[in-house]
Amino acid sequence: MNPTTPSTQALDFTEPLPWRKSSYSGDQGACVEFAPLTDGVAIRDSKDPDGPRLRFSPAAWTAFAAAAPPRPAAH
């Protein structure tokens, strides 16, 4: 598998995860949340917290974060 391709394996967790979302997402509900894993990062849709989740390898998450647009400068 390419290290930058997300895994499509179903994620089965016995412990709750510390889900986080960007402070820039506000209360609009159109965002993704992420949670750190020992072997990568889990991603889910904030509008459907019990829905499907993706697992990204550390390399894939790093590539995603590097490709994301920079934060706007605070004025």
**Among positive and negative, which fits the CA dihedral 62, 70, 50, 2?**
negative
At residue 35, the pLDDT reads 92
The one-letter amino acid at 34: F
**Which residues are within 8 A (CB) of 9 and not within 5 positions of it... i.e. 6 or more apart?**
55
* Model confidence pLDDT, tens digit, residues 21-71: 876 666 666 688 889 998 889 988 888 888 888 888 999 989 988 888 777
4 has pLDDT over 80 = no
Model confidence at 8, in pLDDT bands (50, 70, 90)? Answer: very low
State pTM to two decimals: 0.66
Give the DSSP letter of residue 38.
T
